[in-house]
């Protein structure tokens, strides 16, 4: 079992004829994903990477039974692309696009949620389930190995590094979810933990957080009261200067909350093992799994 995507996920790529859309359509197909259609208004009837292109998402749903979307369209048009996908019946949209205006994302979030649809992102690497196999987004294919470790992350490149390290010690992933680094995202750590709690094929969850916001503190509260599986975490930004925005738009510290130390303290208080450096994470995962097996 996987989380959110599986072997039956049928992907439509919005913005497929752009450079990024074309490159990552190829990579998703190489991973084993079912990319069944692309959408670029005005370019219907063409093909990209042997994938038919349509003028609308509704056409892709009607003709190819697409049930998930990967959005690569430029930021000024991302809101309209997401609304079009939701209106066509798509219930999972991965928004890779960055620099989406704050208020646009507020509209997108509530529009999707009111209609029972889920957004991953924006400004995210996407989601991958190596055992399905299925991938929606831009995470490199080579870092994965099928297994029983769930991964939830705010950082793209740290996700790749830690997932690859887990693979190199002989362990693998059930599903990896890249949440995105903007102040407002469609799926949170708590949302991801709820999904992994229900997944019988996930034994342990790795959280990759960073300074800014309170998402990790919220996750710690959820873990303390509701989560039954072991969690290992890494928080980026321990050396960040006070009151300095680092990297993602969501990496903003406010009134003492959102610091690396406050997040680490909250997570450790919930029983989470927190690594100091990314390279420590694979061995920390292995140690926690051994402790779990001995109980």
Could you list the active site residues? 248
pTM of the model: 0.94
Q: Write out pLDDT tens, residues 42-65.
A: 999 999 999 999 999 999 999 999
The CATH class given to the 10-120 domain equals: alpha beta
Predicted pLDDT of residue 244: 57
Predicted pLDDT of residue 74: 97
Q: Are strands 47-48 and 51-54 parallel, antiparallel or unpaired?
A: antiparallel
Mark the ranges of the chain whose per-residue pLDDT is less than 70.
Answer: 242-257
Predicted pLDDT of residue 163: 97
Comparing 10-120 with 140-294, is the CATH topology the same? yes
Q: Are strands 134-137 and 126-129 parallel, antiparallel or unpaired?
A: antiparallel
Supply φ then ψ for residue 54, to 5 degrees: -120, 165
Burial tier of 43 (Cβ tally within 10 Å: 0-12, 13-18, 19+): middle
Let me know: does 158 contact 234? Beta carbons within 8 Å: yes
Q: Where are the domains of the chain?
A: 10-120, 140-294
Let me know: does 248 contact 123? Beta carbons within 8 Å: yes
Quick one: CATH architecture of 140-294? 3-Layer(aba) Sandwich (3.40)
């Amino acid at each position: 079992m996987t989380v959110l995507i599986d072997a039956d996920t049928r992907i439509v790529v919005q913005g497929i004829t752009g450079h990024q859309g074309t490159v990552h359509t190829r990579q998703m197909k190489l991973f084993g994903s079912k990319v069944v259609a692309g959408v670029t208004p005005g370019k219907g009837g063409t093909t990209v990477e042997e994938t038919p292109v349509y003028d609308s998402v509704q056409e892709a749903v009607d003709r190819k039974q697409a049930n998930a979307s990967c959005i690569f369209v430029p930021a000024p048009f991302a809101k309209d692309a997401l609304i079009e996908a939701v209106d066509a019946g798509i219930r999972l949209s991965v928004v890779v696009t960055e620099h989406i205006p704050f208020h646009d994302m507020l509209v997108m979030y509530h529009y999707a949620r009111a209609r029972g649809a889920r957004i991953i992102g924006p400004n995210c690497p996407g989601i991958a389930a190596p055992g399905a196999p299925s991938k929606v987004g831009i995470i490199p294919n080579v870092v994965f190995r099928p297994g029983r470790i769930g991964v939830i992350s705010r950082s793209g490149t740290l996700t790749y590094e830690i997932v690859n390290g887990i693979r190199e010690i002989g362990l693998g992933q059930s599903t990896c979810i890249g949440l995105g680094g903007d102040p407002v995202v469609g799926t949170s750590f708590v949302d991801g933990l709820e999904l992994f709690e229900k997944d019988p094929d996930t034994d342990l969850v790795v959280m990759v957080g960073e300074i800014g916001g309170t998402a990790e503190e919220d996750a710690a509260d959820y873990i303390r009261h509701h989560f039954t599986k072991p969690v290992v975490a890494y928080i980026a930004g321990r050396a960040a200067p006070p009151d300095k925005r680092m990297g993602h738009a969501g990496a903003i510290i406010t009134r003492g909350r959102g610091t690396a130390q406050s997040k680490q303290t909250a997570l450790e208080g919930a029983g989470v093992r927190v690594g100091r450096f990314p390279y420590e994470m694979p061995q920390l995962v292995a140690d926690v799994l051994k402790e779990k097996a001995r109980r």
